[in-house]
Amino acid sequence: MLIVNTTYHVSETIEEEWKEWVCKEYIPLVIAPDMLVRPRFHRLLVENEPGSQSYALQFEVKDLNTLESWFQNHAEKMKRTQSEKFQEKVLGFTTVMEVIDIK
């Protein structure tokens, strides 16, 4: 299993609106194709630039093929939707992590 993690830096001027949009609109769109599942949304407890807050949004995906398919067919629309709504007030970067079983 893989974890897709996107870390966002969000301007405090739109923080509450962005969080509501993520929960009510963005997450349902991302999970609709049933490829990325089990979303988790976190506020990062780190020192931020003045006037900003950091968040992480994570989804599980079963394998690289499924993730690649999601990126090819859905990711650009998701990125464009957020960019059009919040412009430069939200910046993000994505990492993919493999879950290692602890034995």
Which residue range forms the structural domain that includes residue 49? Answer: 2-98
CATH code of residue 33: 3.30.70.100
In a domain, 34, yes or no: yes
Number of domains in the chain: 1
Tell me: the pLDDT tens digits for 83-99?
Answer: 899 999 999 999 999 99
Contacts of 93 (CB under 8 A, 6+ apart): 6, 7
pLDDT at residue 17 above 90?
Answer: yes
Residue 69 domain-assigned (yes or no): yes
| Residue 73 in domain | yes
Per-residue pLDDT band at 51 (split at 50, 70, 90): very high
Tokens linked to 21: 């949009």
Q: What is the DSSP letter of 98?
A: E
11 within a domain of the structure (yes/no) = yes
pTM reported for the whole predicted model:
0.90
Q: Would you say residue 103 lies in a domain? A: no
